[in-house]
Structure 1
């Protein structure tokens, strides 16, 4: 995989002693190099790997600096450095208004991957790394903390140009800090949520099961089909691409590649021709898992009815053949750990 690097701007947002946000601007763009392309590629992969994303569109009732700055840049009325400064200023204003203590390096990366043109906007923290020279001299260096990327959004500029009415051209990481962070980032960008990836995923789950029932798939065929559907959707999501219904139909039922496509239309299932998905929800196609009351269970869907039996009336699971490490723990506990210790002697 490789990205075609176009522009990269980095500014720093800090807190003053009085607790106010202040921006520090780099006076020039980061020059293109192999190292820069590698950095942006890592950012691209890290962003794609985030499981919970929202999708949005510009809200034209909100007159925001980001929208106007992006428009001016795309019309060549300003350069990328000017766009980056305006975006940084807008972020400082929103951070202050929402009273969030977030600081860090604001990266704006413009690049191409495959046939799409992207703009990634992310606020990253940093962490110190330490190294020793051959003379055992200690040195410290500061690294961008890409692994903890939480405040980030990506514009699909190609989608914005050719299919803006669809409204899925902005994606953002929902984050772990609750709804307030998502709201803050949407306000910063001047957009509103569009497609719901989680709702789409649940609709796929229900529609696929309905189709397999109507098409009278056998048990093993269902298991294989669920795995194929999950693998296809996971691959698309990791690549930052939407699921294409026609392709999904061919994956689900290769012998009738348009079978699922026609079924959705005939049954008026309201499945879009192309849509984003959330892999976390689609795992239900291939795995059962749950936790509560001190119990945590997880097993592959294909084991149900074979090694795992479920009685609906008594709400009882019977598992034949436990994992070796679990079996060892259970045997040691029930027989007494001392018995194993003496056997070893």
Structure 2
């Protein structure tokens, strides 16, 4: 009796470094993020490239959504650890620093790396906190500048007025809010700014257009 040989394909799961997970419910409902990556092991090498290329998903996560969810998770983790004041500010500073560094390098933020920066004493605690509480943060995500910069710089526009200053300026007391007058207080402004305000104030008072 002749034997028939057939070709077989085996999947070596032990050497599978990363997998892609598609949540069909979110995909059908057009909700973000519906595609995420799951890493295996503690290797610091970003091996998600071949998965992204194979799936044809260059924009595989919503940068704004992931960055915002990461911020929410950091806030919650600080509350969980009872970090307040300078401790909380330092954690936020590290978050912004990592996002800014990765954005400038054209690289995504790795949740494992972020976790180690958030909690030096327990490097894996934050990433586990994110998973346990089901925050929609991918294992890797592109940082969204406008979203993460709100922890570094305050920028607001109301009417024809636009103000922009670092959060550190508020911490240092350079910028304050007077609840009685309902106005912003800028301490030690440059003389040139004072002169321009006084000049235009005088012009308006004189009725000159």
TM-score range, shorter chain: 0.5 to 0.7
**Compared with structure 1, are the counterparts of its residues 273 and 304 closer, same or farther at alpha carbon in structure 2 (3 Å cutoff)?**
same
| Cα distance, 1:312–1:324 mapped onto 2, change above 3 Å | same
1:234 shift after superposition? 1.4
Cross-structure match for 1:297? 163
Over the aligned positions, Cα root-mean-square deviation in angstroms equals 3.2
Deviation of 1:327 (Å): 3.1
Distance 2:148 2:103 in 1: 11
Q: Which residue of 2 aligns with 1:6?
A: none
Q: 2:135 aligns with which of 266, 269, 279?
A: 269
Give the superposition deviation at 1:220: 2.1
Partner of 1:190: none
Structure 1's unaligned 5+ residue stretches are 1-56, 58-114, 117-157, 172-193, 337-345
CA distance in 1, matches of 2:55, 2:180: 46
Q: Who is 2:69 aligned against?
A: 203
Query: Distance between the aligned counterparts of 2:89 and 2:110, measured in 1?
Result: 21
Alpha-carbon shift at residue 198 of structure 1 (Å): 1.2
What number of residue pairs does the alignment pair up? 159
Unaligned regions of 5+ residues in structure 2, if any?
A: 1-34, 36-44, 204-209
TM-score (norm 2): 0.62
Alignment of 1:1-345 (within 5 A): 159=48, 161=50, 163-164=51-52, 169-171=57-59, 194-304=60-170, 306-310=173-177, 316-334=183-201
SS in 2 for 1:235: helix
Counterpart-to-counterpart distance in 1, 2:151 and 2:182: 21
Scaled by the length of structure 1, what TM-score is found?
0.40
Distance 1:304 1:214 in 2: 25
